[in-house]
Chain A
Amino acid sequence: MAEATALWISGHLAEKIRAHGAETYPHECCGALLGRDSNAVLESDRGRDTLTPAREILQLFPLVNRRDDSPRNRFSVTAEDVLTAEKAARAQGLEVVGWYHSHPDHPARPSEYDRDHAWPWYSYIIVSVRNGAPQDMTSWRLNDDRAEFSAEGIEIRHQAAV
């Protein structure tokens, strides 16, 4: 049984991800999620023995989709881009805790290809964009056995948690 996790993000940053997906439509957008794991206790966990691991997203690092051969249904972030994103995160006392990308004219659910290429631990935000308009946004983490993703609850916050 996979562990449930939670992702906190401000409305402003969530809107920026959606706008990036609309901007690159019909191509997929991508970028890094900069933040940190949080020790704060969720309201819904008060009084429980097991706490839901939560992480907060505090900055975005938009990237160029390197898949210029099939950008409508693929995205790619090179190792060099990953290192650049990590450097940007460290400069702000944060780390790269995940990645976002869009699914043009498809639901905000991970594909087999997403799962096949995923790393554990990272949060993967997917935003669906239909006819140029951003729709649902979801977040996922790969299970330890790589067999499937678990949905991560996105909580929109007005300000960062302690």
Chain B
Amino acid sequence: MPVKVMIPSPLRPYAGKRDSAEFVARTVGEALGHLTTEFADLRKHLFTEDGKLRSFVNVYVNDEDIRYLAKENTPTKDGDTISIIPSIAGGVRT
């Protein structure tokens, strides 16, 4: 049984309008790699040009924020749910 990646509303137009996708993956990084290979237009919204997750992209394995686990090296097991949750930021100062 693979892991399930939940896709947030703002990214669904770049993922064939799907709200989730399933991949066989051993880590969060692998799952996100499969996701952005299948849906290449997602890549620039999730990752910076040097391949780091953008600061406002939050990734959870089940209910755990991967920042407090092993980040993208966080291991996954069959049946896990990976959720991509936006945080929102902005402001007047450039």
**A binding-site residues for B, Cβ under 8 Å:** 28, 30, 67, 70, 73-79, 81-83, 95-97, 99, 101, 103-104, 106, 110-114, 117-122, 124, 144-146
Contact = CB atoms under 8 A, between A and B. Distances in A.
Interface of B: 9-14, 41, 44-45, 55-56, 58, 65, 85-94
A96 B92 contact: no
A74 B89 contact: yes
Interface of B is mostly: mixed
A145 B12 CA distance: 15
B86 A113 contact: no
A124 B11 CA distance: 16
A122 B45 CA distance: 13
Contact of B91 (A67, A78, A81, A121): A67
Residue of B14, B41, B56 contacting most chain A CB atoms (<10 Å): B56
B92 A73 contact: yes
A95 B25 CA distance: 30
A63 to B, nearest CB: 9
Nearest to A105: B92
23 contacts: A30-B88, A67-B89, A70-B93, A74-B93, A75-B88, A75-B90, A77-B87, A77-B89, A79-B86, A82-B85, A82-B86, A83-B85, A111-B92, A111-B94, A113-B90, A113-B91, A117-B56, A117-B89, A118-B90, A119-B56, A120-B14, A121-B9, A121-B10
